[in-house]
């Protein structure tokens, strides 16, 4: 069974959001990284750009398969984890820590309240 930290919220498409010091840190769950398999490329948004709740914020290629990444929050991208460009394996090895993808300054209407809590996300995983 995949690890599902209790301190963050989730999209059904397996992206997580973690509120820290007024910013929302975003990544993908351990389950998602396991499903994707061996990762080879990632494209993340530019710092300073805006992302929309439930909109695409980047793409990730596991071998032969490109998957769109969906933002769990609306806001401005403050920081992107550039180290992932050369080391996508951090996402597989440490999806909730070193594998974070972007930090977002959330808008007032960020959409984050629509996310699943850990229990609901875990329940979704147990049905899949």
- Binding residues vs other proteins (CB under 8 A): 13, 35-38, 40-41, 43, 56, 59, 61-68, 70, 128
CB 34, min distance to other proteins, A? 9
Nearer to other proteins, 6 or 128 (CB): 128
Q: How far apart are CA 66 and CA 123, in angstroms?
A: 26
Q: How far apart are CA 107 and CA 53, in angstroms?
A: 10
Q: State the CB neighbour count (10 A cutoff) for residue 94.
A: 14
Nearer to other proteins, 54 or 107 (CB): 54
Nearer to other proteins, 24 or 36 (CB): 36
Q: Spell out the residues 6+ positions from residue 46 whose beta carbon is closer than 8 angstroms to its own.
A: 77, 80
3-class SS of residue 113: helix
Q: State the CB neighbour count (10 A cutoff) for residue 114.
A: 12
CB 88, min distance to other proteins, A? 9
CB 56, min distance to other proteins, A? 8
Nearer to other proteins, 20 or 55 (CB): 55
Structure tokens at 31: 């389950």
CB 22, min distance to other proteins, A? 29
């Amino acid at each position: 069974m995949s690890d599902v930290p209790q301190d963050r919220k989730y999209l059904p498409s397996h992206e997580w959001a973690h509120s820290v010091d007024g910013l929302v840190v975003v990544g993908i769950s351990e389950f998602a990284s396991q499903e994707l398999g061996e990762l080879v490329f990632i494209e993340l948004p530019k710092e300073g750009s805006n992302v929309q709740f439930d909109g695409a914020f980047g793409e990730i290629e596991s071998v032969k398969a490109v998957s769109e990444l969906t933002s769990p929050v609306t806001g401005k991208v403050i920081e992107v984890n550039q180290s992932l460009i050369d080391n996508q394996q951090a996402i597989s090895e440490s999806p909730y820590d070193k594998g974070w993808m972007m930090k977002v300054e959330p808008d007032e209407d960020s959409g984050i309240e629509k996310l699943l809590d850990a229990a609901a996300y875990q329940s979704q995983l147990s049905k899949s």
